[in-house]
Amino acid sequence: LPLEERLASYVVEGTKEGLIPDLDEALTKYSPLEIINGPLMKGMEEVGRLFNNNELIVAEVLQSAEVMKASVAYLEPFMEKNETSVKGKIILATVKGDVHDIGKNLVEIILSNNGYQIINLGIKVPPEQLIEAYRAEKADAIGLSGLLVKSAQQMVVTAQDLRNAGIDVPILVGGAALTRKFTKTRIAPEYDGLVLYAKDAMDGLDIANKLMD
Ligand code: B1M
């Protein structure tokens, strides 16, 4: 198989055998993010498709996720870092009820490599925990990730709770459950701050940079 297909197949098969040498080879041709967003994401999309068709079970999807995580961890030191002064502090969380964290953690890597201090609250984060963290950290923005359809609804609830707690910092939302339609009007028409959708981690960085300008 060509290199790109081999990379995708490690994710689909959930195997790490041969992965590192192939990642090294890929690094001679592509940037770390191109490898992640290209062949590795392609593998993850295939995993999603197979899972949807009942051709994979959760345990197998978990192994695929392990391969993706190991790849991102291996590639991270090769990513471009902009050693600027701290641009801002951002709280990141996967919303309540949702365990998917690969995308959120990628957002953390990209933002922290580009001058942001990140408070990563992890997965299944209830609004109360976000409110507490915001009060303790005085962050410049809150980033919410969600991959399940119900996570979009959870974001609506979260934005309402933040508003009721008197918080109005910009909220950045992302994750496969969302689309561009998830703008402020869909998520939180009455939220006093901005609500912005990022399609991927780089888009998240662009938005954060615009916000902090
Ligand atoms: Co799950 N899962 N999963 N899963 N899983 C999906 C999301 C699903 C679409 C698969 C499918 O059926 N086709 C489906 C959701 C269906 C729906 O609601 N419409 C699904 C399901 C059903 C489930 C369970 C319910 C399965 C079950 O138990 N029966 C269960 C949910 C448990 C729960 O959350 N309560 C479940 C569990 C799991 C695993 C634990 C096995 C594993 C997650 C492991 C982990 O994350 N640690 C897993 C995985 C791996 C997937 C798929 C296959 C891949 C997700 C992924 O990591 N993609 C996924 C199918 C798919 O998406 N194709 C699927 C790679 C990652 C880099 O992309 O997270 O989208 P993503 O991030 C992108 C952008 O979205 C964006 O940036 C990233 C790229 O740069 N982004 C942000 C993300 N967050 C952002 C935040 C931002 C900005 C951008 O700002 C704050």
| Atom 83 of ligand 1: nearest residue by CA position | 175
101 catalytic? Reply is no
Torsions phi, psi for 148 (to 5 deg): -95, 150
| Chain segment 149-179, per-residue pLDDT in tens | 899 899 999 999 999 999 999 999 999 878 7
- Catalytic residue, from 9, 71, 100, 101: name it: 100
- Rounded CA-CA distance 155/139 in Å is 18
The verdict on pTM exceeding 0.80 is yes
Question: Which residues, including other chains, have CB under 8 Å from residue 10's CB and lie 6 or more apart?
Answer: 16, 18, 19, 22, 43, 67, 71
**pLDDT score, position 14:** 98
- Measured from the Cα of 201, ligand 1's closest atom is 80
Structure tokens, 71: 């790849």
**pLDDT score, position 185:** 66
Tell me, what's the ipTM?
Answer: 0.98
Distance between Cα 146 and ligand 1 center (Å)? 8
**pLDDT score, position 54:** 97
**pLDDT score, position 123:** 98
**pLDDT score, position 136:** 97
CB 47 within 8 A of CB 64: yes
| Chain segment 77-96, per-residue pLDDT in tens | 999 888 778 899 999 999 99
Q: Which residues of the chain have pLDDT under 70?
A: 180-187
